[in-house]
Amino acid sequence: MRRPPRSTPGRTLFPYTTLFRSDGGIAPTIWQANSFPKPFRSKIKVVHDGIDTDVLRPNPDIFMTINDKIKITRDDEIITFVNRNLEPVRGFHVFMRALPEILRQRPNARVLIVGGTESGYSEKPADGSTWRERLTNEVRPQISDEDWNRVHFLGRLPYQHFISLLQISSVHVYLTYPFVLSWSLLEAMSIGCTIVASDTTPLHEAIKPGKTGVLVDFFDPQGFAREICALLADPEKRARLGKNARAFARSHYDLRRVCLPAQMEWVYSLLGKKMPAGLKEKLLHMDLSSPLQPPVLPEAKTESASADVSAKEG
């Protein structure tokens, strides 16, 4: 049986019918909960899935080697951008259009772009190309060969190398349409990245302007270029925003201390019971590394040794 197309009413009718018959539902963000009609909203508890902020932490000693010859450290200007797939729903087109100005203003900055070229949340370009190809063709005439050599497409990375990438980031850029908030944003916050993000509704729950990051109008590439360059020139502000971002992630999205206890409390509430005494303490000390270990993606061409990550462009 074929799955119904995205636009068919049947695709949304089933979850609404299920929720109508259920005792309760759970959503990871307020924005997602509020996307349901009001009759269902009262049944939905907002609790995020949670991230492991003990694993996702800063590492001042991290360094990376790109293509076996370009070594970068925390002392370098590194701009990071991460999508599962490079596509418009996650703002890839806006970020690419900001690159010419960023590269002109910051002659020592390097741009590390992570993501596949398949279609995910967005439709493919009408001409049959990929969004990476289409946007590269659009902006490349505005960028010199020398500056383009500072832009690195790394494809998809194994999770441990993704963490290293965020740990070395000077400014991390995240955009999204009104859509599901990516784990990668919260993981970047936990690591202490300086965040420049799109001023779209899902971001408002995590990015507090001037406190945990900077928000820019989604459709303003020049605004993104301006804010990214300003932060690269202001290490003290970057350090303050990154510290605040990590503190916010730990207090709101920590898996063991915040999210798992809230999820368990919700389950027991549906049963009309109180969560057993001592369960929070047990959750705090659970070894969750094995079931939460993300898969190693075969597209990545990487090797690691201690704190070094050797990444090849894809």
Task: With residue 65 as reference, give the H or E element that holds it.
Answer: strand 63-66
Pick from 38, 31, 36, 46: nearest CA to 204: 31
Within a domain: 158: yes
Within a domain: 233: yes
Contact 134, 127 (CB under 8 A): yes
**16: burial class by Cβ within 10 Å (0-12, 13-18, 19+)?**
middle
Q: Is the pLDDT of residue 302 over 60?
A: no
Within a domain: 157: yes
pLDDT tens digits, residue range 6-28? 444 445 565 667 767 788 889 99
**75: burial class by Cβ within 10 Å (0-12, 13-18, 19+)?**
exposed
Q: What is the pLDDT of residue 253?
A: 97
Pick from 148, 147, 109, 115: nearest CA to 231: 109
Q: What is the pLDDT of residue 12?
A: 57
Within a domain: 274: no
Within a domain: 310: no
Within a domain: 236: yes
The CATH number that applies at residue 230 is 3.40.50.2000
Within a domain: 17: no
Looking at the structure of the chain, the number of domains it has is 1
Within a domain: 39: no
Give the domain range for residue 201. 63-251
Contact 46, 29 (CB under 8 A): yes
Residues 6+ apart with CB under 8 A from 187: 51, 56, 163, 166
d(CA 48, CA 53): 14
Q: What is the pTM of this model?
A: 0.86
Q: Kindly state the average pLDDT of the residues 286-309.
A: 43
